[in-house]
């Protein structure tokens, strides 16, 4: 079961834009994070939920997608996500953003697995225009955006492959827009 969810939990960059979230569904996903591990149990992470189409459309241009695919602009027009959850750190609780990077990874994966369990999916976006996003969302000074999660109903095919002898881990797309993601073999991970 868990392996199925982990396998389905790909970085989706194309969504069915007709799908809309209810805010409560996104609140449920954030609720999962309350039960996850946190360094010294400080729990400094806070979440901004955007699911109104106008706001999602304003956030989208501040996010960068699949930088490795130089000639492809993703998401394709009309295939953007239906919501964003912006994972932020409350600097009044802790200003040590390095220490809580790991917390960010844990909550991000938890939210995405929760979405996949509902037949949905998302993509972590670490590459985004932070000052502009802070301004757009009117976030107070002590709230520092750390990672953007795009969410929606995936509308693209992603295939996992094995990293070959050349060691190349670069993801790529074929002429049908199928997205391929090479993963290292188990033998190559064990020390």
Ligand X SMILES: Cc1cc2nc3c(=O)[nH]c(=O)nc-3n(C[C@H](O)[C@H](O)[C@H](O)COP(=O)(O)O)c2cc1C
- Minimum Å gap between C-beta 62 and ligand X is 11
123 binds ligand X (CB under 6 A): yes
What would the x/- binding string for ligand X be over residues 55 to 84, using CB under 6 A?
Answer: ---------xxx------------------
| Minimum gap (Å) between residue 126 Cβ and ligand X | 3
Contact call for residue 126 and ligand X (CB under 6 A): yes
Determine if 127 is a binding residue for ligand X (CB under 6 A).
yes
End-to-end CA distance of the chain: 27
Beta strand ranges found along 29-183 (DSSP E): 45-50, 83-90, 121-125, 143-152, 158-162, 172-173, 179-183
| Spatial separation of the C-alpha atoms in residues 88 and 143, rounded to whole Å | 6
The answer to whether the beta carbons of residues 38 and 178 sit under 8 Å apart is: no
List the one residue out of 86, 102, 67 whose CA is nearest residue 26.
86
Q: From 19-27, 33-41, 47-55, 120-128, give the range in contact with ligand X by CB under 6 A.
A: 120-128
Q: Based on CB atoms, which residue is closest to ligand X, 116 or 137?
A: 116
């Amino acid at each position: 079961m868990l392996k199925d969810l982990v396998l389905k939990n790909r970085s989706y960059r194309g969504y069915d834009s007709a799908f809309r979230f209810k805010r409560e569904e996104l609140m449920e996903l954030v609720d999962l994070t309350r039960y996850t591990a946190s360094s010294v149990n400080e729990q400094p992470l806070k979440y901004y939920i955007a699911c109104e189409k106008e706001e999602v459309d304003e956030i989208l241009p501040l996010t960068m997608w699949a930088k490795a695919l130089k000639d492809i602009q993703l998401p394709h027009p009309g295939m953007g996500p239906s919501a964003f959850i912006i994972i932020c750190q409350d600097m009044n609780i802790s200003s040590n953003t390095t220490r809580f990077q790991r917390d960010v990874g844990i909550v991000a994966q938890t939210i995405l697995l929760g979405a996949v369990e509902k037949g949905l999916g998302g993509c972590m976006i670490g590459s985004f225009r932070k000052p502009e996003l802070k301004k757009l969302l009117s976030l107070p000074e002590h709230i520092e955006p750390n990672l953007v999660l795009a969410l929606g109903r995936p509308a693209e095919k992603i295939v996992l492959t094995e990293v070959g002898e050349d060691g190349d881990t670069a993801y790529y797309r074929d002429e049908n827009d199928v997205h391929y993601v090479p993963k290292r073999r188990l033998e190559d991970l064990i020390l």
